[in-house]
Structure 1
Amino acid sequence: MDVVTSTCYRVTSKPLVTWLTARDGCKDKGEMLVVLEPVEKAQFIVGFLNLAWPGSMRNFHIGASRPADRWNTTFPATGPDYVWETGQPVNMSITQSFWEPGKPDNKDNDNNVVRLSGKQNYALDDTEGIWTSRYICERPSQRTKDSFSAR
């Protein structure tokens, strides 16, 4: 029996929470904040949000942050040091086209997390971890090929 692995996404609408609370909210359900790599996954999520809430002011926490020991510090000379919830570094060359113009900028040395900004058609925005937003979780889902066939 062949097993097909896919990804399920959960988009929250309320309550608005901080990034750390969003991360814990995903973990409590066996999920993690969404990782927007590879580029096709980012295109899918951003496209979905623009269809569901076009021109919205809604923001969504995603699974990228600076490592906890680097919060509230300046970026290194080589640029931001964001990592995905999987532990992999955010590939800035892959995600570059998804960032708001001029971002990431680490304004006031406290932009420790990344969110999708509704005011910018869900572009990536580095922001403070204290701001509240909605969030998107993901989890793998496995099914047998037989479960996809019509009966």
Structure 2
Amino acid sequence: MCALQFEVYVSTQSASSAAGWNYFRFKSASCPWTTGMSDMDYAIDRGSMTCFRVVTSHSKQWWSARDACTSSDDMLAVLEPVEKAKFIYEFMNTNYVNHRKLNHFFYIGSKRPQLICTPPCGWSSSDPDYTWLNGQPVNYTATASYWHANKPDNWNAETVLSIRSFFGFLWDNITPDTAQYYICERPLIY
């Protein structure tokens, strides 16, 4: 018995490319895609076998965003290994370019265990590190090109990570109690 696993949609009108990259949209039963840009549509990164969903229809605090992803059998996006960070960076810069001038934040799944210091603060290698929701520590060396300049800076109560559109979709540390957009992920299952 044969079963359809992927449908491939190729568009030369809306495609953009960088050296060594081809952009296609895949459709998979484990990562639904309907119209292409709704909060329920997944972008599939076949390299990391991960499906990502960018939620922009409503904003949530970090903890609520984490729970909203979980309630859909997803998790707030864990952007390591670095190939996942690269995919999201390219995907956001290709598909969400209009958000850049609006200074939107997109929560991702990393946090610090506690408030580190009160302003003025500076990053110290002895401070507790950010960890992803899967328990893996953030690898600052591997992900260095995805951080905005001088981030993380631990200003005030900035204990979670986000992708900031105004910074060209680079990472920023922010407080978890402001309602923001967010990015969920789930594994791609064949």
Identity rate, percent = 38
- 1:124 and 2:184 equivalent? no
Instruction: Tell me what 2:154 maps to.
Output: 106
| TM-score, length-scaled by structure 1 | 0.83
Which residue identity is paired with 2:152? P
Unaligned residue ranges in structure 1 (runs of 5+): 144-151
* CA RMSD after TM alignment: 2.2
Which residue identity is paired with 1:82? Y
Per the TM alignment, residue 140 of structure 1 is displaced from its structure 2 partner at its CA by 0.9
More helix by share: 1
Instruction: Tell me what 1:66 maps to.
Output: 112
Instruction: Tell me what 1:141 maps to.
Output: 188
Q: How many residues align?
A: 138
Q: Which has the higher contact order (CA 8 A, sep 6+)?
A: 1
Instruction: Tell me what 1:28 maps to.
Output: 71
Instruction: Tell me what 1:12 maps to.
Output: 55
Instruction: Tell me what 2:141 maps to.
Output: 93
- What is the CA–CA distance in structure 2 between the aligned matches of 1:30 and 1:12, rounded to whole Å? 15
Per the TM alignment, residue 141 of structure 1 is displaced from its structure 2 partner at its CA by 2.5
Unaligned residue ranges in structure 2 (runs of 5+): 1-45, 118-122
- What is the CA–CA distance in structure 1 between the aligned matches of 2:153 and 2:90, rounded to whole Å? 24
| TM-score, length-scaled by structure 2 | 0.67
* Shift in alpha-carbon separation, 1:77–1:49, aligned structure 2, 3 A: closer
